[in-house]
Structure 1
Amino acid sequence: MHSTVGIGSDADVAALAELVADAERVTDAARAAQIHEVHVLAAAGRLAEQQSAGASERVKAREMALRSIAAELAGVFVTTDRTLQRRIDEARDLVENYPATMTAWEAGRITRGHVRVIQDTGCVVPAEVRGEFERAAIERCEGETPNRVRDALVHLAERLHPRSFSERHEEAAAGRCVRVHPGPDGMSDLIATLPTVIAEGVIDRLTRQAREIIDARPQVDAAPAIEADASSDPAVDPTLAANTDAAGTVHGNDASDGSTDSHGSSFAGDTRTIDQVRADVFADLLLAGTPSLDPTADADGNGALGAIRAKVQVVVPALTLTGEDDGPADLVGHSPIDAATARELAGENTAWDRLVTHPVTGTVLECDAYQPTAAMRRLLRARDRHCRFPGCRQPAVRCEIDHTHAASDGGATHVGNLAHLCKRHHDVKHHTRWHVRQLAGGRLVWTSPTGRVYREDAPPPLVAFAPPADGAPPGPPPSPPF
């Protein structure tokens, strides 16, 4: 008997066919929108080039024009101007240097994913052979998924390149860098772009050190017990000194609070995996180690680099410090951190800023002060917390303090006329048509070259502050000190 309602029925096939047709229409519309966006962004890059034409310092003029345009468009795309500027450069490169790829994309022969792979792998191919690379790459992409053709295109680009790999590696090594990608739950990825042989050497040393620590566990467990004294000299136990000198590194073992057990070693009872040990050794070496090459070293080998310690800016509620609350603290400009790490960092800190906040909005109104100039800096750092340009999250500790109304035009050195701006946006303010004025309470009002207005309120702390114990409604906020 023929069924008309089960799986595989004529009705199911008809419904599926309609879904496929809808998917094709959506794909075509999305492709058209993506192509239009690329052309818009490429046009923005050309406009910056035109605006800077004839300028005496053309490179700087083009950069300032591009930053201004990127900041303008970032408000429309709801992203940061740095991201927008990178996308503008990528779009212009695609439109101007990969015409065959654009044509194939517009015709529906390849997808956006294929375009990215072609652009990524083709960047090493000289202009004179790029056309040949494009033709072969497009043929390989048709009918295949982007991830399956990437390796083939990498080898294709290598074969077409007239310069040796060694020459190109020397140039690529100039781009080595370190960067942080924030992740969820108070974790981040620390990424170092290094020559492959160096990277492999780093992971090999970390692995062998981690295995030594893991292999030493039976000996630690079998060691004779010694009496542990909370005030003992760290020199008696070098493992304790190594762990506690790492500027707040938290280890994932049973003695994560830095205490010792009956064996007098923080490694006793260590149950960390090799990945966890590698990560902990890596952090300890970077936070407490001394570089082997130190240009500041004297004849005795004493240099300044080893004395430099890591600095972070953390906002933590008093109740979290005392252990009455277990909510997260705020690592300014980045992401929340757990209460245990905040307490460990607090235990090694000698300087504190007490914040008085608005009882409703949480905006910082006052910060304890000592000397006038230092007080202004402390208050501004607590109030701003990051760069005050729309969308920017560069931490205040890495920013410059800017006079909103320029000092050269009579602007006062007063907290009501000062705000943190990162170097990039400090330059945008002074070298483009972006304008800003500051209202009471640290509120900044930015006006873009096309007249768009962006309001930047002083950011309230991301951590929670407890309400009054008696449950009474909050009273009026204290008067700000400016």
Structure 2
Amino acid sequence: MAAGQAAALAELASRAVMAPNDTGYRSVNPVTNTAAEVAARTQLSTKQAENQVGHAVQLVADFPDTHAALSAGLIDVRRARVVTDELGGQQAAVRARVEAAALPKAPFLDSVALRRLVKRLLHELAPMETAERARAARDGRYVAVMPASDGMAFLEALLSADDATALNTALTSAAADAKRADVAAGAPMRTVDQRREDALAELGWAALTRCADTATTTGEAATDTTVTRATVTGEAADHRPRSGPGAARRSPRPVSVHVTIPFESLAGLADQPGDLEGYGPVPAHVARALAAEGVWTWLSTDPGTGQLLDLGRTRYRPSKALAEFIVARDRTCRMPGCHRLARSADIDHIVPFAAGGSTCPAGCHALCETHHLLKHHGGWDVERQPDGSTHWRSPTGHHYVRPPDSIRPGATPDPPPH
């Protein structure tokens, strides 16, 4: 089944209709265009769909023997992934040599043992290429935040081994210092993991403090006929004491942390959750702590849907007013399945400006760079409806609806009609 699905996805990605126009951007290609279609069709996120489509294309095109082993049931998807993950970036000749050596043993190994075997074979069969790959791998480094339960989140990072070792050593040292400080102060003892996390978080809060002109937070508040709410943007807010390294490299520009909180919760009259931008619901006491030193901007929302109607501001620049409104209203990229924040996205004319599109709230929306380019060069059409939903037609002619994001914390939009 997995092999058949990979073949189907690879086939769809090979169709001419899925090939976007040449834009010069590597992120705009048949895989990302096909992934947008698959995400909308199957209720996956675009990232999940890109992962599936990319792996399918790679498996079918570059690893036909591994695909055949998967089709025959000799290996499962996890072991097929090991082969493509470890060999996908290698030269074709290296890929073929190592795949041929590893596949006969793959049915008798679990995925961890298979990965070790492939790594060892790379060093044995292609030592020069393996060293060069290690130098090039630094280009793939990244840091990502993924929501977890109960107001927590995972911080994932891919670093060079030396950078990771240096960070780990610093956290270990800071945790030891924190333990001695706790003992000296008679404070409750924290676990090693807690002290290490506190030290890492201190780096982030210290960076926010250093990169802001003042140690204040910028806030946004919202009101309508039935609910009064506040959205808080924190620039360098340190809302809890920490122990740790206490030093961080200054960021080249201020960074904001945005939290939406119902006014009743802010005032202590209720405990409705706040909404942390890029994460989701957080307990009221966390949102209150971030809002405590806020400077406020007022948002007006529809009492029934929670959608943004108007945006006030403490810093008024007419040239930025529309962009600020659209970012606050849309919250995320409007492509179905995409959850990239609108704050880091492009403001797109739904109807191109050159074709008579209007530069107004109804005529614009937020799209991340990749989906902005795919909309114009990948065969997608979109219309914005009065209720805030966006109706998309894909390159294959299918229709999808992206409902609006509600500003009101905890509100869930109605599912799109079928």
1:34-58 CA-partner distances (Å, limit 9, x unpaired):
1111111222333359946xx7x58
Identity %: 30
Q: How far off is 1:204 after superposition?
A: 1.0
1:114, 1:146 within 8 Å by CA — same for their partners in 2? yes
**Aligned residue identity for 1:379:** F
Which residues in structure 2 correspond to 1:129-140 (within 5 Å)?
129-140=94-105
Residue of structure 1 equivalent to 2:65: 100
> Measured at CA, do residues 48 and 155 of structure 1 come closer, stay the same or move farther in structure 2, by a change above 3 Å?
farther
Query: With structure 1 as the length reference, what TM-score do the two structures score?
Result: 0.69
**Aligned residue identity for 2:277:** V
Measured in 1, the distance between the counterparts of 2:54 and 2:263 equals 46
Residue of structure 2 equivalent to 1:150: 115
1:314 aligns to 2:314 (yes or no): no
Residue of structure 2 equivalent to 1:36: 4
> Measured at CA, do residues 366 and 441 of structure 1 come closer, stay the same or move farther in structure 2, by a change above 3 Å?
farther
1:350-403 CA-partner distances (Å, limit 9, x unpaired):
1333332323x3333333367555553443233211111112111121122222
Q: How far off is 1:434 after superposition?
A: 0.8
What RMSD in Å do the two structures reach over aligned CA positions? 3.0
Q: 1:170 aligns with which of 135, 138, 141?
A: 135
1:366 aligns to 2:315 (yes or no): no
Which residues in structure 2 correspond to 1:327-476 (within 5 Å)?
327-359=272-304, 361-368=305-312, 374-461=320-407, 463-464=409-410
> Measured at CA, do residues 97 and 441 of structure 1 come closer, stay the same or move farther in structure 2, by a change above 3 Å?
closer
Q: Secondary structure at the match of 1:70?
A: helix
Residue of structure 1 equivalent to 2:240: none
Q: 1:122 aligns with which of 72, 76, 87?
A: 87
2:88, 2:95 within 8 Å by CA — same for their partners in 1? no
> Measured at CA, do residues 449 and 318 of structure 1 come closer, stay the same or move farther in structure 2, by a change above 3 Å?
same
> Which stretches in structure 1 are left out of the alignment for 5+ residues?
1-32, 222-268, 293-303, 466-482
Moved over 6 A (4+): none
Q: 1:280 aligns with which of 188, 198, 204?
A: 198
Measured in 2, the distance between the counterparts of 1:315 and 1:384 equals 14
Query: With structure 2 as the length reference, what TM-score do the two structures score?
Result: 0.79
Relative to total residues, which structure has the larger strand share, 1 or 2?
Answer: 2
1:177, 1:193 within 8 Å by CA — same for their partners in 2? yes
Q: How many residues align?
A: 371
1:248-280 CA-partner distances (Å, limit 9, x unpaired):
xxxxxxxxxxxxxxxxxxxxx343222212212
Q: Which has the larger Rg?
A: 1
Q: Secondary structure at the match of 2:310?
A: strand
Q: How far off is 1:317 after superposition?
A: 0.7
1:71 aligns to 2:36 (yes or no): yes
1:309-358 CA-partner distances (Å, limit 9, x unpaired):
43122211111111222232112343222222211211132133333232
Asked which structure has the greater RCO (Cα within 8 Å, sep 6+), the reply is: 2
Measured in 1, the distance between the counterparts of 2:303 and 2:197 equals 40
Which residues in structure 2 correspond to 1:239-258 (within 5 Å)?
none
1:138-186 CA-partner distances (Å, limit 9, x unpaired):
2222233333433223212221114165433211122222122222222
Q: Secondary structure at the match of 1:319?
A: helix
Measured in 2, the distance between the counterparts of 1:406 and 1:102 equals 43
2:4, 2:71 within 8 Å by CA — same for their partners in 1? no
Q: How far off is 1:462 after superposition?
A: 5.5
**Aligned residue identity for 1:362:** G
> Which stretches in structure 2 are left out of the alignment for 5+ residues?
211-248, 412-418
Measured in 2, the distance between the counterparts of 1:60 and 1:165 equals 28
Measured in 2, the distance between the counterparts of 1:125 and 1:391 equals 31
Residue of structure 1 equivalent to 2:218: none
Q: Which moved more, 1:319-328 or 1:123-132?
A: 123-132
